Structure formats: C-alpha cells, structure tokens
Amino acid sequence: MIKELMACHSFPAVLVVVVVLVSCLLAPPAVTASSMNISTYWGTNSSEGSIEDACNTGLYSIVNIGFVYKFGNGRTPVLNLSGHCNSSVQGCTYLGREIIEYCQQKGIKVLISIGGSSGDYNLNSQDDVTLQTTCGTTNLVALIFIESTTEYWDVLAETLRNLSNNGTSQIELSATPKCHHPDKYLGTAIQTGLFDYVQVRFYNESCCQYDGSFDAMKSEWNEWIADDKVDKVFVGVTASAEEEGYVDANDVLENFLTDAENSTKFGGVMVWYLYTDHNSQYSETIKA
C-alpha cells in the first residue's frame, strides 16, 4: 500500500505524488472573452511559455498540467514537463503555490494529468491506489488520462471522492477518454458516476474523429451526453493541422459546437495543446 502524508504547501512534492491530488473545490470556471469554457494542456512543449502566461491570455478556464507518466508498482511517480523543468532533480519552483493560486484567483482551474498516451504506469492492486494527503490552500484538481490499462481506475476515483465525502477535503475529478463510447480503458471508472466532467478526445481516433464529415463525431457525442453517469462533456479537438482528426476552428464552431451547446451537458471545448493552440490561434477563433 502506498501511503504518504504531506501538506499542500510543499508543491513540488505534491506534483511527484501521482495517484491522489487534493483540492479545495473551486468556483465554476470564469472566462473573460466569451461564455465558452476552454480547457488546454500545458507542459508538453518548452516553448509554450509558463502557466502564468497561459492564465493571462484570458482564453482558458482549465489548464491541465501534463503528464505524470510513470507510477504504480510502488515506484516513485515521475512528472514529465517536456523540458520546462525536472521535478525530481531541481524541482519546479515556478509551479509553486503562488503561481497556481494566481491562476485560481482568475477563476482558472489547474489540473494534474495522470497517465498520457505514452508512459510507464500501472495500478496492480486496490492497495496500490491508496495515498493519503492533507489540503492546504494550493487548490489542485485531479484528472485521469489513461490509455494502457483498465483496472483500478474506478477504485482510484472512489478513493478520491471518499476524501471529499468524509470532509478531509473537496475533490473534483475529470477524465479524458477517447471519443468512442464507452472508453476501453476508462469506461468502468466513468460509470461510477463520480467524475464531474469528461474531456472527450475527438481526434486521433479514426472511428469517431472528423474525416471531412461530422457524422461520426455527432453520433458519439450523442452517446456521451445520453450517458446518465456523465454530468458534463467537453469536446476535445486538436489545434494542429498535422494531427489526425483536425478540423478548422471556424468549421467546428459552425457545424458542431453550435448544436452541441444546446445540450445541458455541454461543458466546453478541450484544445490539445497549448503550444499549437498559440501558433494556430484556435481558441481565439472559437471565442471570437
């Protein structure tokens, strides 16, 4: 069993502890440019600027830090920030509590992404899930992004939610499944009904991504919003024209999001990822 007891004031240590990240529940996201919530990923390219820079754009209501890509089997969790800094060596001082709180004061949620499309992670038992923390004021939120295993993610979600229910702290959970419903790896966890929202990836998935037509996307979108275990759904798109499933921002706005917004389960848009978003001005186009 993995057991750690830490205070939130030691932020670099919090980043290294993967399986449970504790938060004081934040107010609903606030955006300045328009009413549409946009989520993005930070930490995948060293040229994308700082988290503070991202929060100052006025574009994002959620910034996902990615990724904690190595954990499980009793190993020390490892956070990969693609050249920004090395959390296990020199630490990541500019990811300190003051920076996170700066974003939160703007109404922007900062999430830790657990897993990723590449990495070495596994939860091999129920005991491997358990991690105990205390909550200070660094309001982190937990997010799960899993692509290689199926077991114990439901146990992880339940462990996190129990921390909230017993009054230890307030927890908010999100998952980032692939667009085909139900997701092969996260489906069981999502069916616990414990996730506050899902950020569904409608790209790099041939059966339900944009392919010159929105039909497949719309079909799977309808499956997600019909799921009574899912409260809110973000539409995940890529800002890079080089990735499979890319769709022009104006096109997705006019031919998909306009209809999607009519659902009470519409949460917003997840744009992968910050660096390409800046270069393409994808989010700016959506929020214009």
Burial 159-194 (b: 16+ CB within 10 A, else e): bbbebbeeeebbbbbbbbbbbbbbbebbbbbbbbeb
Instruction: Return the pLDDT at 5.
Output: 22
Of 9 and 119, more confident? 119
Instruction: Return the pLDDT at 91.
Output: 65
What are the structure tokens assigned to 63, written together? 């910034």
Give mean pLDDT, residues 39-56: 93
118-127, 151-160, 194-203: segment of lowest average pLDDT: 118-127
- Which residue of the set 4, 48, 98, 147 is catalytic? 147
Give mean pLDDT, residues 8-15: 28
Distance from chain centroid for Cα 81: 15
Residue 142 amino acid letter: A
Instruction: Return the pLDDT at 94.
Output: 64
pLDDT bin (cut points 50, 70, 90) of residue 265 is: very high
Task: Evaluate if residue 60 carries a pLDDT over 70.
Answer: yes
Q: Is 147 a catalytic residue?
A: yes
Task: Evaluate if residue 17 carries a pLDDT over 90.
Answer: no
User: Strand runs (DSSP E) across 31-139, as ranges?
Assistant: 38-42, 62-72, 75-79, 109-115, 120-121
Rounded to the nearest 5°, which phi and psi values hold at 75?
-80, 155
58-62, 86-90, 270-274: segment of lowest average pLDDT: 86-90
Instruction: Return the pLDDT at 99.
Output: 85
Closest by CA position to 29, among listed 74, 61, 73: 61
Instruction: Return the pLDDT at 149.
Output: 74
Mean pLDDT over all residues of the chain? Answer: 80
Instruction: Return the pLDDT at 221.
Output: 98
How far is 181 from 60, CA to CA, in rounded Å?
A: 26
N- to C-terminal Cα separation, the chain = 49
Contacts for 282-285 with beta carbons within 8 Å, 24 or more apart? 282/237, 282/239, 282/249, 283/38, 283/40, 283/59, 283/60, 283/239, 283/249, 284/33, 284/59, 285/249, 285/250, 285/253
Q: What is the pLDDT of residues 173-232, one digit of tens each?
A: 899 999 999 999 899 999 999 999 999 999 999 999 999 999 999 999 999 999 999 999
95-104, 118-127, 227-236: segment of lowest average pLDDT: 118-127
What are the structure tokens assigned to 65, written together? 């830090």
Question: What is the DSSP secondary-structure string of 220-273?
Answer: HHHHHHH-TT---EEEEEES-TTSTT---HHHHIIIIIHHHTTSTTEEEEEEE-
Percent of the chain surpassing pLDDT 90: 50
Neighbour tally for 267: CB within 10 Å = 25
Closest by CA position to 39, among listed 189, 200, 181: 200
- Helices and strands counted in the chain (H then E): 10, 10
